Structure formats: C-alpha cells, structure tokens
Amino acid sequence: MSKKNGAKRSPRAWSADLGGRFFWGALAMVLIAANLILPALEKKHAWKVDLTCNGVYTLSTPSEQILQNLSEDIYLYMVYSPGNEDARIEQMLREYGAASPYVHVMSIPVGMRQLLPDISLLSTEKEGIWITNQAQTLVQYFSQEDMYLWDEAGQAVAFKAEAKLTAAIQGIVQGAFCNVRLLVGHGETAGRDLQSFLQLLDMGNYQVAEWSLASSTKALDPKTDILVAVSPKADLEHSEYEAIAQFMQAGGRALLLFDRASFNTTQGVLQVYSTSLPLFSELLWQYRMQVNDDLLFSGDVRTINLRRTSLRVRPMLEGMQESEVIINEAASLDILDVADVGADTQVSPLLVTEGVCFAKGLAQKVENFNFQQGTDAKGRFVVGALAARGDSRLAVLTDSLMVGDETIGISGNWAFFEGLLEELSPLTPAVSIEGKALSVPHRLLGGRTMQVLLWSLAFLLLPMGVVFAGWRLRTGKWRK
C-alpha cells in the first residue's frame, strides 16, 4: 500500500494534471476579463438585445439613415439627478452614440458644470436631454417627461424618445427647427382645450410656443415659423397687424381658424359672435379671401349628432380627396377676384361641403333651422382655402372646433391637419416616427446581464469541474 502511494507519477499523469490546472486557470482569467470588458463594450457599442415585442430600444430605418448620413458632430447630453436616471432614455442615447461616430453621448450629474468647460449655453442645473452642434448655434432641450406619451391618469403609455431625438438631429443638420407660434391676446381658444391638437404638433416634432407682439422677445421668422390663430374673438391691434403683414410679405406661413358661431351642447344653445374683426379681414382680403357672416346647415335631416350645423366636408389636399372631414358651426368662405391684390396670389379650396347645404345670414337672430326659399343660399360651399403668394402661404378655415379635443380625434380630421401643416411648413417636415407602446415590460440583454450569466455559469461549472477532476484522479483515468 505504501509502495503504491509512494510510486512516482508518470509524465503523462503530470501532463494531464498541468493541463487541467492550465484549463481552469485560463477559464478563470477569461471570466475575469469578460467581467471587466463587457460593461465597457456595452457602454461604447450599446450591446444589448432588445426583447420587447415592439422594439422599444431599436432604432427605426429613418433614424438609421439620418445617422448614417451625418457629416458633422452632434452632442447628446443627459443631465440627471443621481438616483433619478431614466434607464430607457439612457439606453436610447447609447443606441444613437453607437449608430454613428459623429454622435457623442455624455451623462452629467446636475451641477457638475466643470464636466462641460466648453458648453456655455447649456444649463446643467436643469435636468433633461440637450442636443447641440459643436458650435452651439443650434440647441434643443427636452425634459424626461417630453420623451413619453401620457394618458389622462398620468401614466406613460408610449416611449417617443426616438422621434424627439431624430427630429432634433434632423433640425440641427438642416440648420433650423420648424416652429408653431400660437397667437394669444385676442380671446383665442386656450391651450387646455387644444390638448389633442398640441399632441398632433408634438408628434409632428413642431416646436410650439405662444406668441404676441407685446410679450414675445423674438419676432416671427418666415424661415422657420408657422403662425396659428385659433378662434380669435377680438381684433388685432394696428401694430400687430403690421408685424404679421410684414411676416407674411417676407414669405411667412399662417393658419387662421375663425368662428361665426358655436353650439353649447350642454344647454342646446347656439351662440353667435357679432364682434367684427376688420384687421383680420384686411389680412384675408390681401390674400383674396373673405369669411362670410353666415352659418351653414345640412340639407339632410339625418344630421350628425342630431345637429344640423355638423357637416361632412371633402378635403382638397392632394391624396386626401377620398377622406371625410367633420366640421361644426362653419361659415362659408369666398375666394375673391381682387384686381388690386394681383394675379400672383393663387387661392385654392381646402374644404368643400358635401351634398346640399344652405347658409343662413347672421345679421338677424337665427330661430328657424329649416331652409327658407328666397332667403337662404343653397348649394356646395367652400369652408377652407389656401392662398399662395411666392413663398408665403395663408390657410383659412371657418371652424375652429376642427382642432378641438372632441373633433380632431376623427381620423379624417387628424390626417387633414397633418397634411395641411406639412403644406404650410417652411422647412422639410421632420421625419415622422411613432411612439412605441409601453404595454409590455422593457427587457434588455446587455453587458451587465452577460456578467451575471457568466458568473452564474462559473459558479455552476467550477464545482462540477473540481468533482470531475477528483473523480478522474481517484479512478486513475489520468494515470498511465
């Protein structure tokens, strides 16, 4: 027995023993190296596998094309409070950084201005995402909340970071962002009643802000701005008219929505607006248009929502002739033959009533909603028109409820305004990317996950390897 235990091991046994030790040592080194390298590779190249069914973390083809065509440096800064980072946004920024060598991504804790010695325009006291070019001549800011679509209960229902980031990069590349300026100060419809319209603008990546001559620090810019007025109840001041007229003469774009009446559905009362708007009317006249002092009624007793003033109208925008748009309490609009304006102003209908309608004048109180022969005009009426003069565009609609929360949700109305805004935009419309639903859990398989898997595998394999090696030695499988 002692002789056997004291026997020398053969060279083959020593070789096998050394080979086994080398194998386990090499495996340990590989695991340690992988543990150190994988997180760095993940951060640099956004190595993650998107397991969400709708690709929340996967860039769409339009985004990839814009990123692949970049020829200038774009900087994405995520400013955050420690412990308040948004993992979704952080990962999406990494995807952009990995998709193009021209996109540079940095995460910065709030207040750490020393990390940005050359970024004087960015306030690192404000959380959110900043996108800028190297010269800082174009800067776009989004809060973390801007990256989501929220429901009425305040729950995030869709992730729209890709749409925001790609549109911002596209705007920097083309040198400007398209802005919608909402005219205020004349009793216009409040923003709280235009939430769906504002959502449409947000999804189209328009930058929205209120504008008035008295309070706005920047003048309207015909190269980037669309002026929108929703149901003004008071007229312009003369200085405002001059400012808007100069904006239009320089090639500006505007969308004006007027009301001659509104229907209170709760009380069942028709309210007529009698205030005259001579300077608004003068602006329309300069573009060969006039809103008449009347109210349109359907000639069909089978009315929409039992309201004779709810009408189906046909959009005249290219590609939308087969769509159906709904309007309420609209007036008729005349396209004028004004010699003084000049032949260079071209006006075309945007919306035309379907079927037989009739118009009742509002000079007197409207008490009878039925057609009156010899008093009421009858036929098809224009209720929206688009005028073009050089680069300038003016769209006029005679019903502001079209952009109200109750009506714009109709598919035809929504599509009509998407197309109209593209027609009015002074810049190439931003790429349209839909938000991605968050109805499924967000799961990513990334470098940190790979770390966990590797160490889990190591803890499983190492004991099994030791047992296996002991068994081989005990049974003499490694001996000669």
> Most distant CA pair in the chain: distance in Å?
131
Q: What pTM, to 2 d.p., does this model score?
A: 0.74
pLDDT tens digits, 260-285: 888 776 666 777 787 889 999 999 99
pLDDT tens digits, 282-326: 999 999 999 999 999 887 765 555 577 888 899 998 877 778 899
Percent of the chain with pLDDT over 70: 73
Closest CA to 215 of 192, 245, 183: 183
Torsion from C-alpha of 262, 265, 268, 269, nearest 10 degrees:
-20
* DSSP string of 254-290, one letter each residue: EEEE--SEEEETTTTEEEE-----HHHHHHHHHTTEE
For residue 351, what pLDDT band results from cuts at 50, 70 and 90? very high
